[in-house]
Every structure is written in structure tokens, then in C-alpha cells.
Structure 1
Amino acid sequence: MEESKTRFEGVESILGDPKKAIWKLSIPLIISLFITSLYSVIDAVWVSSLGADALAGVGFVSPIFIALMGIGNGLGAGATSAISKYIGEGDKKKSDNGAVHAIVITVIVSIFTTLLFLIFLRDILLSMGASNTIDYAMDYGVILVSGSILVILSNSLYGVLRGEGDGNRTMYAMLFASILNMILDPIFIYYLGLGVKGAAIATLISLLFVNLLLFYWFYIKKDTYLRPFLSNYRFDKDITVDILKVGFPASLELVNNALFAALFSLLLTVVASTDAVAVYSTGWRVVTIATTPMLAVGTALISVVAANYGARRYEDILLAHRYSMKIAVLFGFIAAIVVYVFAPQIVSIFAYTGTSMRLSSQLIAFLSVIVIYFPTMGYGVTSTFLFQGTGNGITAMFQTILRETVFTLGFAIILAVVLGYGEYGAWWGIILGELVVNTITMFWADWHVKRLIRSNN
């Protein structure tokens, strides 16, 4: 009886009160995404004592790691959107089949991605401006890319769990992986003397174990609502399209973010130096942690919106969207205040020894400026994810490309190069780009839901 209650608890949540559902999914997501973002921070903390060049080398690989995470998160978003919609429609058989489809698609994409990155890794890093730190970047990158399937599959499976409204297990898995990574990092980097290679190995080992844990829940314990067994698999073109029409654009969104990070790093090497790249890549890890609550609320919104979309309860979608924006904006203000006030203490974690100490003042300046855009992310990310929940992945992707590649990078080039403000101008480019496109996206999402309501009436 207890097992049955646990299996159906998430499903009942996403089909119940939208406000309660958002909180129920957001809280474990905030914890789990916060812990996940610690992956790269932990690596940076340990690697920083190897020197600024090692830190910069790992920083150049960060966009690639972001891309791998993005592909997994994108496919996970596609799985969440499709599965939650089928649950909202009351089709259990199709939900199970959708879960298997998500896993099969993920494995195929992972194999292709690994081969692609292994072939072109060096050229990608050099094109980003990593020539001075290429040895460090390759040492870290080759190992990380070789285990791409571990990165992509875990994030996709998280999406399957979120599709049935289960945020708790996702949190447990991420906690387990991050704690293991914390333990393994110093062992492989220093005790075994592997340097930056050790950081990459520690990350992959932790991800291997988290994938095993996820498979244990699905295939051995068998206490999830979804049954992603091969016996439940029947190839269905419509299911494949439902997953990919959100998953593929969502992956491209996050890959685009990685592309932006790469181009932004290149811009910084042109207007400043590799030290500026180290400042940006390290500071952005702090930004990632600080903004996880907004991202968590947006991610939770996908499940709630998709389930209500499948049930054709569009008024509840409008309610969920507006409520999620209020929560996310509040989190944005809190995060901005905390990072601004405690910037010196935060920076001391990364620049506590060796040549990394020379980056302290720049890191503090970066964090003090970049917090300005945090509240705008609150209403921007929830609005973008609403489109994923209604199956409009292409629209969400367009909004992300507009924000990152067009406006943000465009403003950064104008301020840093044309007007000659250097790396400080580049930072302000991020703020202006986020402000403009997040505001556009908010009004766009509200109009989209109101149109659904009118069409239903």
C-alpha cells in the first residue's frame, strides 16, 4: 500500500493545485540543482591551487561541459513535457512508452556526441583562444568528453522522473553524486597526483554511480510510477516527435549557451587576457549557484504546465505561470543581495593560494556587477520554460538564441570593443541583453497562454 501511494504521489501533485505543485517540485529541485552546480565549483576550488593557467584551462572546457549538460537537460525537458502531457491525458501506457523512448533517444544522441567532441575537441579549444593553456584544457577535456554518456544520460533520466512529478528522487541522486565528487576530487587531483585529469576522472566516477542508482530505482526496486521497460516499448513516431520537438530545441538552447560562453571567452582574450577568462568562468560558477532557485522554479513549471496542457486546463497554466514568476523574481532579489554583500568572502574560496590570488579584485568586481540581472532572470526563465511545457520548443529556443547570441553578445561587443570598455563592457553586455529579452519573453508567454484560453472557450 505504501509503495503504491509513493508511486502515485507525484502524479497527483502535478494534476492538483498548481501553486502547491510548483512548491512541491521546486524545493527538491532547488536543492538538487544547487548541488549539481557545485560540480564545477568543487573542481575550480581544487584546481585553483594548481595555478591560474590550470584554472583557465579548465575554464575553456566549461562551455563543452555546459553543452553536454545542456544536451542531457534538453532531452530531459523533452521527456518531462511529453510524459507529463500523457499523464494529464490519462494515458498510462503511452507514458511508459514515452519513458523508454526518452532513454533510447538519449543513448543514440550520447554516442554521436562523444564521437563528435573527441574528433574536434582540440580544434574547438584552440578556436576559443586556449592556445596558452591547451595542455591543461586537453588533459581535462579528453577525459570528460569520453564519458559524455554519463553526463547526458543522468540528466535525461532526471527529466523522466520529473515527468511523473517525482522531484525527491532527483534530489537524492544529485546529492549522492556531488558528495561522492567532493570526496574523490582531492584524492585524484593531489593524493594520486593526477592534477586536472584527476578532477575530470572524479566527476565521471560520481556520474557513473548516480546512473547506477537511477537504474536501480527503475529496474530493480521498480517503485516508480513509470515503467520504462523494453517490454513496454513500441516505436511510436508521435512520441518521438513529442520528445524531440521540445528536447532537440531545448538541447540546442543550452548548447547555444555553451557557444555563447565560448565566444564570450574569445572576446575576453581579445579585449583583455586569459586571466579575464579565468575570472569569467570562475565567477559564472558562482552565478550558476546563485540563480539555481529561479532555474528550479522554471523547471518545475514544465511538469505542471505540461500536465495541465494535456488535461486542457489552460486557466491553471496562467495561474501557475504568474505565480512562478513572483517566486522566481523574489529569489532573484535575494540572490543578488547575498552575492553582492558577500562577494569578497565568496572570492576567497577560489583565490586562496598561488597565482590564483591575483584574480581576487577582478572576481569581486565581476560579481558585484553581474548581480544586477538576477531578478530579470526570474521572470525570463519561467516564461521560456512555459513554452517547453506546452510543446513549443522551437519558440523557447528562439528566445534563448535571441537573448544570448544576438542581444547579449551584441551588447558585449559594442561596449567592450567598439566603445573600448574592455572586459567591464563585456560584463555590462550580459546585463543589458538579459534585461531586454527576458522582458520580451515575459509578455510573449502571457499572450501565448491567453490565446490558449480564448481558443478553448
Structure 2
Amino acid sequence: MENFKADNKNIQVLLGDYRKAIIKLSIPNMIAMLIQTLYNLVDAVWVAGLGPSTLAGMGIFFPIYMIIISIATGITVGTSSAIARKIGAKDYEGANSIAEHSIILSIIVGTITTIIGIFSIEFILKFTGASGTTLENAKDYGLIIFLSSIPTMFNNAATGILRGEGDSKRPMYVITFSSVLNIILDPIFIYTFKLGIKGAAWATLISILVSTGLLIYLLFFSKKTFLNVNFRKFALNNQNFVDISVVGFPTALAQITMSIAVYFLNFFAVKSGGDAGVATFTGAWRIINLGTLTIIGISSAVTTVTGAAYGARDIRKLENALNYAIKFAEFFALAIMAGMLVFSKPLAMLFAYSKASSALLDEISSALKLLCLFLPGTPFGMLTSGMFQGIGHGYKSLATTILRTVVFQLFWTWLFVDIFHIGLTGVWLGIVVGNATASIITYIWGRLTIKKLYVLQTKPSEQI
């Protein structure tokens, strides 16, 4: 029997008051996501200084990079969910085994991603229509980014392990340090070393490798974690891969589905308003996405807390944790919505500050006033989806994401734009109404799932 620390504070919080657990896990998650978002923004700003074709090269590779990130996110969520369920059931040996299997899985997936990416990058980029200097820039950037696949997958597995045992602070510290390092290295590699877009990629790779070093230290040498990840008693168990993948794989697909949905929403924006329409959508939607960061951070906490409650067969705690998290998220959603309504013009200036883009100021401001109504309905759907991930029902999480992004948002947008002919306003209304409709259905599905779990709880012989 491994020597697990019974007095571990993170475990005590995770298995204790669900309110404290939700808050303790949510806030570091929010900060980490905000830092990462700001880093991505700054990264693009530095590259933009090299000229339009260089920024376009990064933009062409971005959807491919998002697929890598989606797969990595799947590993994070799948790992944290599986570990939380084991810890809730007080199967600490099993949680340790999940952690070790997740590291192996991350290395396998990272290796496959690297090989496929390096040998197919030119074909994939040409398929997007890229050519000339833009193609070369995208290829130069992408080849180096693909080299980061293994450490990226490992870092996400390690983050999932730490979050699964109720520790979201250390991942936040690592992500913050890595992102700040990247911001510092960008101008040095791009301009001082005169590496251009390759410099941006090398800065990203080095910051990721530094994160890998920090996470290796935390997991294997610091002795400050609850789980003892050392592979000394490792025994291959394919069921552990299944336990991770049953949540991780649908999560990755859900992330990819959201990118596909944005592609089609861009189509409706172009149809309704031409280039100005898609520029308006791009600017306004990025601001809305910033507003959803708090809800995403709380959703990650819901996955861990409900997973532990599910493992402990404490369905009452699972239900209470979800409802409390929704109230907690609604506070942020309503406050951010109010802020966007009041400060829509200053926020729109972020994407309309130059003479060339000043014509977009009123359009983006008007779009924000409608799109911010997207936020209050989001917690019901997103957090219920997080609960589905926590209890191992990854397919439900995927289904609800497809329902929200592909089915309802696109349906309502099509209805308002093509049938009612109300132009760009129809795109904004379609997103808001589609999200609200799907969130209501998702929450009802979640309530029915919890009701079923109560029934199964009374039957000890059955798996809940």
C-alpha cells in the first residue's frame, strides 16, 4: 500500500464542503485561463509587427494548432475526472494508476501527433488554400510547434493529475510562469535574434519545455502531491486508458466541434455583411469569449468536485455542488454582461482603434450589446456538461456541445438570416437564442441524470 498523506489539504477540501471546493478550484482556473488568453493575444501582436503575410501564416496554422490543443484538453479533463472519481471512492491506488497511465497516454498521443504533423503539414496547409510567402511562414511556424506536441500532451496530463487531486493552484503558477516567459522571449527571438516567425515558435516551444520541467519536478520529486507518481509498482491496465478516454475523447471532439461551428457562423456573417460582417463577428466574439473564461474555469472545478462526489456515491453532494456552481457562475455572467452593456464602445475600440478599422466601432458595439445576452444562459449548459464529464458520461458532454454549437446556434442563425432576412442582427440573435435553447435542454438532461443516479444509489450492486 502506497503511503498516501491523509492530511493533504487539497484532498480534505475536495472531499469536504462542496462550496469551498468549487471556489478553491475555480479561481486559480480562471486566472490561468486569463493569463493564457492574454499570452495568445500578445503573441499575435508581436508577430503582426513582421507584416501581414507573417501574421496570415500564423493565422493559417491556428486551426491546426487548435486541434492539438483540443486533444491536449481532452487528456486534461479525462485524467482529472477519472482521478477524482477514484479519490471519491477512496481508491487511492487506483487514482495513482490512472495518473501513471495518463502520462503514458500523453506521450503516445504526443508522439503520433508529432509524426503525423511533420510529415503532412505541407499537404494540410495547401489544402487550406495557403500559397507563396504565407504558406512558407505557416510551415516554418508549424513545424516547430509540432515539436512541442509531446511536452504539450504531458503538461496537460500532469495538469489533469494535479486538478484531479484538488490542486489547481500549482497548475496556475506553472501556466502563469510559462506564459510570462513566452511573452518575454517573443521579442528577443523574433527581433533581437532576427528569427522572424520561427522565433515566435521557438519562444513557445521553450516556454512549454520549461513548464514540462516544472511539472516533472512537482510530480516526481517535490513530494508535495497527494498521489505518488513514480511507476515503481506500475502494471499495465487497459481499463485505465478507457476511463481516461471515455471522457477525454468526447471532450476533444467537443472542442473541435466548437471551432467548426465558428467557421459556419463566419459564413453567415459574410453572407449578411460581407468582410465588415465577419470582421465585426471576429472582434465581438473574441470579447465574448473573454467573458466566458470565468464560466469555463468554474466548469473545470465542477468536473473535479462532482467526480469525487460520484466516486463516493454521494449524489446529494453532487447535485448541490452543481447547483451552487451555477449560482456562483451566474454572479460573474450577469456582472460581465452588465459591464459589456455599459462599456460596449470602449471594448469595441480594441478592434476599431485605427483609421482603417474605425468604421467597425459602432457595428462591434451594437453586436456586443446583443451577444452579451449569451452569457447568463451559458452556466446552465456549460456547468451541466462539466458535471457529465465528472461522472464519466463524456458522450453526454459531447452531445450537449454539438446540440449547442452545431444544431441550435446554426439553426436559429439560419432561420433569422435566411428566412426572416434580418441581416447581421440575425447572426447575433441566432447565437444567443440557440445557446439559451440548448442550455435549457442540457440542464433538464442533467436533472434527469441526477434523478437516475439517486435511484441507482439505492442499489449497491449496480454501477452508478
- Give your verdict on TM over 0.5: yes
Assess if the C-alpha contact under 8 Å between 2:389 and 2:397 holds in 1.
Answer: yes
What is the TM-score of this pair, normalised by structure 2? 0.87
Q: Of Structure 1 and Structure 2, which has the larger fraction of its residues in helix? A: 1
Q: Once the two structures are aligned, what percentage of the paired residues are identical? A: 35
Q: Work out the CA distance in 2 between the residues paired with 1:350 and 1:405.
A: 27
- Residues 280-334 of structure 1 show CA distances to partners (whole Å, capped at 9, x for unaligned) of 4554443332211111111101111111111110000010011011111221111
Assess if the C-alpha contact under 8 Å between 1:412 and 1:426 holds in 2.
Answer: yes
Please state how far the C-alpha of 1:147 moved relative to its aligned partner. 2.2
Please state how far the C-alpha of 1:89 moved relative to its aligned partner. 1.4
Q: Work out the CA distance in 1 between the residues paired with 2:121 and 2:419.
A: 31
Assess if the C-alpha contact under 8 Å between 1:83 and 1:160 holds in 2.
Answer: yes
Q: Work out the CA distance in 2 between the residues paired with 1:377 and 1:212.
A: 36
Amino acid at match of 1:42: V
| Aligned equivalent of 2:462 | none
Q: How many residues align?
A: 454
- Do structure 1's residue 369 and structure 2's residue 370 form an aligned pair? yes
- Do structure 1's residue 20 and structure 2's residue 25 form an aligned pair? no
| Aligned equivalent of 2:332 | 331
- Residues 216-265 of structure 1 show CA distances to partners (whole Å, capped at 9, x for unaligned) of 11122232111222223211122221111111111111122233334444
Amino acid at match of 2:163: R
Q: Work out the CA distance in 2 between the residues paired with 1:354 and 1:49.
A: 18
Tell me which moved more, 152-161 or 137-146.
Answer: 137-146
Tell me which moved more, 179-188 or 243-252.
Answer: 179-188
| Aligned equivalent of 1:249 | 250
Runs of 5+ in structure 1 lacking a partner? none
Q: Work out the CA distance in 2 between the residues paired with 1:6 and 1:289.
A: 38
Mapping for residues 73-152 of structure 1, pairs under 5 Å: 73-121=73-121, 124=124, 134=135, 137-152=138-153
| Aligned equivalent of 1:38 | 38
Assess if the C-alpha contact under 8 Å between 1:99 and 1:227 holds in 2.
Answer: no
Tell me which moved more, 380-389 or 367-376.
Answer: 367-376
- Identify if the C-alpha distance between structure 1 residues 367 and 191 changes in structure 2 by more than 3 Å, giving closer, same or farther: farther
- Residues 121-152 of structure 1 show CA distances to partners (whole Å, capped at 9, x for unaligned) of 45555665667965554454443334233333
- Do structure 1's residue 412 and structure 2's residue 413 form an aligned pair? yes
Tell me which moved more, 258-267 or 356-365.
Answer: 356-365
Mapping for residues 164-243 of structure 1, pairs under 5 Å: 164-243=165-244
Q: Work out the CA distance in 1 between the residues paired with 2:187 and 2:226.
A: 38
| Aligned equivalent of 1:433 | 434
Amino acid at match of 1:13: V
Assess if the C-alpha contact under 8 Å between 1:384 and 1:396 holds in 2.
Answer: yes
Assess if the C-alpha contact under 8 Å between 1:387 and 1:445 holds in 2.
Answer: yes
- Residues 94-134 of structure 1 show CA distances to partners (whole Å, capped at 9, x for unaligned) of 11111010111111112222333445545555665667965
Runs of 5+ in structure 2 lacking a partner? 459-464
Tell me which moved more, 30-39 or 323-332.
Answer: 30-39
| Aligned equivalent of 1:298 | 299
Amino acid at match of 2:438: V
Q: Work out the CA distance in 2 between the residues paired with 1:183 and 1:79.
A: 31
Q: Work out the CA distance in 2 between the residues paired with 1:446 and 1:98.
A: 29
Amino acid at match of 1:331: F
Mapping for residues 378-393 of structure 1, pairs under 5 Å: 378-393=379-394
- Identify if the C-alpha distance between structure 1 residues 338 and 62 changes in structure 2 by more than 3 Å, giving closer, same or farther: farther
Tell me which moved more, 72-81 or 329-338.
Answer: 329-338
Q: Work out the CA distance in 1 between the residues paired with 2:69 and 2:246.
A: 18
Secondary structure of 2:372's partner?
A: helix
- Identify if the C-alpha distance between structure 1 residues 131 and 350 changes in structure 2 by more than 3 Å, giving closer, same or farther: farther
Q: Work out the CA distance in 2 between the residues paired with 1:423 and 1:127.
A: 29
Amino acid at match of 1:148: S
- Identify if the C-alpha distance between structure 1 residues 363 and 241 changes in structure 2 by more than 3 Å, giving closer, same or farther: same
What is the TM-score of this pair, normalised by structure 1? 0.89
Tell me which moved more, 362-371 or 82-91.
Answer: 362-371
Q: Work out the CA distance in 2 between the residues paired with 1:271 and 1:134.
A: 29
**Structure with bigger gyration radius:** 2
